[in-house]
Structure 1
Amino acid sequence: MKNNMKALALGLLLTTGFYACDKKGNTETATAEQPAATAAVNVPAFNADSAYQFVARQVAFGPRVPNTPAHRACGDYLVAKLKGYGANVLEQPFTAQAYTGTTLNLRNIMAQFNPKATNRILLAAHWDTRHMADKDSVNADKPADGANDGASGVAVLLEIARQLQANPLQGNVGVDLLLFDGEDYGQDAPESWGLGSQYWSKNLLPSGYQAQYGILLDMVGAKGARFAREETSRVYAGDVVEKIWKTANQIGYSDYFPFQDSPGITDDHTFVIQNANIRMADIIAYDPSSPDGFFGPYHHRHSDNMDIIDRNTLKAVGQTVLHVVMTEK
């Protein structure tokens, strides 16, 4: 997902058309952990071992580059797995033209839990991998495994799906898991990225879809990952950001979710906010010490493989998001 230019620019393509400053994130001292206000709610334990295996299973297909057998096979696996967890699964096949001029055969996948509920929460990730490891000094024209950039977010959502089957949502709250395709087949121009989220947000599935808010997961599985409050998310979904970061700190994951701000980026949440008018926060790893100043040293490199995936990181993100979902009223 995204190149260096995207880390520096807000690239929202919204009516304001402004860009984030190239600045260091502001930090605040995290308050002492307090008992969660929603402690009485029975939130199930997110199984990090299960999520780790979901990452490995996707990687085993090979790079999930659009128009390849690995991509098609992984998509079929995801649909079958989500149906197996009792979700109402919707597929959205479409074609899009990449920046290279190549026509890509793509597919967005949505899995709905408690579909009759009107208070809906949208959780999303992208399931494709980039077509080249263009930041690598070796074999830059070949794709990487995409264990973190793509598979980790999907794996967290698959484990959440498994938990939602075992612990059905109550009342008028429903959750939709949306897997975007074609997120990582871009170059330079912001609109060349996020092809799946652009298509879905302009062609809503189901028709007229609405959600109270959304959470995007991107690169959420690497060892030592830290998640800062990304600027686009703060500006357009500040209350959602606050909910996520407060929850993480309340349940013991302050090391992973410090009260730190990061510059804005173009990601799938950008187009959901812009076109679907759904407030969406992006949980994405931020490493200002990395070569590009935002993403980790494995970003768009062949080092993005199972060696960097950490169960503790998956647990921190998955348990936080599961807690937010299960305590929603």
Structure 2
Amino acid sequence: MKKILYISVICLLMTLVSCGGTKQGGKETAAEEKPVGVEFSADSAYSFCQQQCDFGPRVMNSEAHDRCAEWIMEKFRSYGMSVEAQQATLHGYDGTQLRSMNIIASYRPEKTERILLCAHWDSRPWADNDPDEANWHKPVMAANDGASGVAVMLEVARLLALTERGISVDSANAGAALNENIGIDFVCFDAEDWGTPQWAESKGDDSDTWALGAQYWAANPHRDGYKARFGILLDMVGGRGAHFYQELYSKHYAPSIVNRVWKAAETAGYGSFFPRLEGGAITDDHVPVNKVAGIPCIDIIPYYPDCEASSFGPTWHTVIDDMSHIDASTLRAVGQTVVQVVFSEK
């Protein structure tokens, strides 16, 4: 993700939201929703996060990037997903050619009714928000800003595989399963974090230099005419002390999905992680998914209102975005919320 906006135009944005309907995406759920009885394993998600970091920073055009791509695809395949790699040569802010690979893993690919879960998996090449200027040209490990979102998706895929085989994922509800008419697509976006660095001489309006893989996928989906009921983007979902405010582009394009997810968090017992407060408008992968692909998609992304280093948290685009700052309780709160949404879809 790149920038967070708090300018007066946001007031106009929210006026547009308040005037719009709330029927966008997703099916209506019961007024008194109950926990779905499928337990998200934070330990499993934490391990998936660690295993990505074991490759080192997954910077574009690097060996670590390519090796991690193979690992991600193999993990999804091991859970019975249909997996494909969408390869493209994209161009960075400075013209650098980037060997991009969006990874798409599909559960029940034959189903026409679909849910989209997505996250970016690449690492930022430059720790340009690090407090030490000597680190500004060093790569970011991206334990939170990259690996955490993929880790949550892999754990959801693991749970789907278990429930498909009739294996209990919670002793209180051995029969829980996804609606048989719904399929899920897990999209790992590449080239999200090659956006213009803060130390670049000329930046201007650099919004288009971010989320390159998502921009490409939105204009060239992996299936002709691809549509989903709704999408959920997971970005930086494992940080210590994280709280997930309601991002403003999400509220503009998919207000009913925002309400749905925040209610699911409350139902699952993690409402304290999801305050019903507004954050900023963030340039992230969900923007082209909404604007170009036409799929109502929200962004689950943290907001730290009192953090001097960044409203994205103290590790954002620094060399300390590593496993020592990943919190299993945050992974659990986000993961269980996503599970609640997915497994309660009618």
Q: Give me the TM-score of the superposition, normalised by structure 2.
A: 0.85
Q: CA deviation at 1:291?
A: 2.6
Q: CA deviation at 1:294?
A: 2.1
Corresponding residue for residue 105 of structure 1 = 99
CA distance in 1, matches of 2:9, 2:306: 21
Which of 20, 28, 33 is matched with 1:38 structurally? 33
| Alignment length (residue pairs) | 306
CA distance in 1, matches of 2:184, 2:233: 13
User: Counterpart of 1:181 in structure 2: which amino acid?
Assistant: D
Please say if residues 9 and 265 of structure 1, whose CA atoms lie closer than 8 Å, have aligned partners that are also in contact.
no
* Map 1:243-282 → 2, pairs under 5 A: 243-282=260-299
Which of 4, 8, 11 is matched with 1:7 structurally? 4
User: Counterpart of 1:59 in structure 2: which amino acid?
Assistant: C
CA distance in 2, matches of 1:282, 1:126: 12
Please say if residues 36 and 340 of structure 2, whose CA atoms lie closer than 8 Å, have aligned partners that are also in contact.
no
Please say if residues 40 and 335 of structure 2, whose CA atoms lie closer than 8 Å, have aligned partners that are also in contact.
yes
Corresponding residue for residue 291 of structure 1 = 308
Corresponding residue for residue 185 of structure 1 = 194
CA distance in 2, matches of 1:314, 1:183: 21
Closer, same or farther in 2 for the Cα pair 1:293/1:142, shift >3 Å? closer
Corresponding residue for residue 93 of structure 1 = 87
- Structure 1 residue matching 2:103: 3-state secondary structure: strand
User: Counterpart of 1:158 in structure 2: which amino acid?
Assistant: L
User: Counterpart of 1:220 in structure 2: which amino acid?
Assistant: V
Closer, same or farther in 2 for the Cα pair 1:293/1:144, shift >3 Å? closer
- Structure 2 residue matching 1:177: 3-state secondary structure: strand
Which digits, 9 at most, give the CA deviation of each residue in 1:266-322, with x for residues without a partner? 100001001000000100010121235521011000111111101100000000001
* Map 1:108-119 → 2, pairs under 5 A: 108-119=102-113
Q: CA deviation at 1:43?
A: 3.4
Name which of structure 1's ranges 132-141 and 62-71 shifts more when overlaid on structure 2. Answer: 132-141
Q: CA deviation at 1:171?
A: 2.0
Please say if residues 179 and 345 of structure 2, whose CA atoms lie closer than 8 Å, have aligned partners that are also in contact.
no
- Structure 2 residue matching 1:124: 3-state secondary structure: strand
Corresponding residue for residue 254 of structure 2 = 237
Which of 298, 304, 308 is matched with 2:325 structurally? 308
Structure 1 position 212 matched with structure 2 position 229: yes
Corresponding residue for residue 149 of structure 1 = 145
Please say if residues 185 and 192 of structure 1, whose CA atoms lie closer than 8 Å, have aligned partners that are also in contact.
yes
Give % identity: 47
Q: CA deviation at 1:170?
A: 3.2
CA distance in 2, matches of 1:59, 1:141: 19
Please say if residues 310 and 316 of structure 2, whose CA atoms lie closer than 8 Å, have aligned partners that are also in contact.
no
- Structure 2 residue matching 1:111: 3-state secondary structure: strand
Please say if residues 124 and 214 of structure 1, whose CA atoms lie closer than 8 Å, have aligned partners that are also in contact.
yes
Which of 218, 233, 239 is matched with 1:222 structurally? 239
Which digits, 9 at most, give the CA deviation of each residue in 1:198-240, with x for residues without a partner? 0000001112110010000000001110000000000110000
Please say if residues 65 and 129 of structure 1, whose CA atoms lie closer than 8 Å, have aligned partners that are also in contact.
yes
Over the aligned positions, Cα root-mean-square deviation in angstroms equals: 1.8
- Structure 2 residue matching 1:149: 3-state secondary structure: helix
Corresponding residue for residue 172 of structure 1 = 181
Which of 96, 116, 122 is matched with 1:122 structurally? 116
- Structure 1 residue matching 2:324: 3-state secondary structure: helix
Please say if residues 43 and 322 of structure 1, whose CA atoms lie closer than 8 Å, have aligned partners that are also in contact.
no
Which digits, 9 at most, give the CA deviation of each residue in 1:177-217, with x for residues without a partner? 00000000001511000000000000011121100100000
CA distance in 2, matches of 1:20, 1:299: 24
User: Counterpart of 2:63 in structure 1: which amino acid?
Assistant: P
CA distance in 1, matches of 2:249, 2:194: 21
Please say if residues 9 and 266 of structure 1, whose CA atoms lie closer than 8 Å, have aligned partners that are also in contact.
no
